[in-house]
Amino acid sequence: MSNILVFDASSAWCSVALSVGGTLYSVAEMQPRKHAQLILPMIENLCGQANIKPKELDGIAFGKGPGSFTGLRIAISVAQGLSLATGARLYGISSLKALAWQGMKQLSGEQLSNKQMLAIMNAHMGEVFYAAYRNTKQGLIADIEDSLCKPEQVDLSLLDMPQWAGAGDGFQFSDELPDSIDSLKCIDEETYPMAESMMDLALEAWNNGSFTEAEHQQPVYLRDTVAWKKLAEQPSLLKRN
């Protein structure tokens, strides 16, 4: 069995999970401004628990966004750095897809189980990220693709709302979101993307051959005003007069 590492820094939570020989190891901390200090020690700690070295990793999956701009930069930097150092292949997971799956798993086994989840994250600057994912035999399918807008501009016209549940801290803007959210089965504002549940998505992608070389994986910001350039595309200080 393959050794797969997953981590996410797209939200206030920093979380890491590792699958080795079918055994899952995970750790998570809610530290909004300490992702850079936490993520590498977390990875090292889990590798120690599993008794493997980073060079033994086969695949690395990470939350590619949308989400915290700083968190996404940290995640892609760590993912690409580890990939180049170890030869492990990479796969980026939509943070909204991960949020939807986390919400589904939290409802699983309860009286109110659900396979259709509306995920909304606080994007700050008066905006929200949102998407709607449905669990099918082919995996999670997006009925609404990952989007960014002001809360009052969220378009839910494609959804039969009573059949859906909601998850994510974006629901704190319920007064500004469309009135149709009142028809949702339930809403959990305390749900965030977590690496432990993202492992399901990562293993599915690994089995489907979706992991790639490091240079083919990039973060997803959704904001047009945010510019991300590869190192080779960035202006060199040495060339400035």
- Domains annotated on the chain, with CATH: 4-95+193-239 (3.30.420.40), 96-188 (3.30.420.40)
- pLDDT reading at 229 higher than 60: no
**Could you give the CA distance from residue 59 to residue 196 in angstroms, rounded to a whole number?**
15
pLDDT at 105 over 80: yes
Does the pLDDT value for residue 237 go beyond 80?
Answer: no
Instruction: For residues 8 and 26, give the distance between their C-alpha atoms in angstroms, rounded to a whole number.
Output: 12
State the amino acid at position 179 in one-letter form.
Answer: D
Does 166 have pLDDT greater than 60? yes
Is a pLDDT exceeding 80 seen at residue 238? no
Tell me: the pLDDT tens digits for 20-78?
999 999 999 999 889 999 999 999 999 999 999 999 999 999 999 999 999 999 999 99
Q: What is the pLDDT of residue 139?
A: 92
Contact 11, 35 (CB under 8 A): no
pLDDT at 228 over 80: no
Predicted model pTM: 0.90
Q: Could you say which DSSP state residue 194 is in?
A: -
pLDDT at 188 over 70: yes
Question: Of the candidates 194, 206, 168, 190, which has an alpha carbon nearest to the alpha carbon of residue 7?
Answer: 194
Place of tokens 């005003």: 225
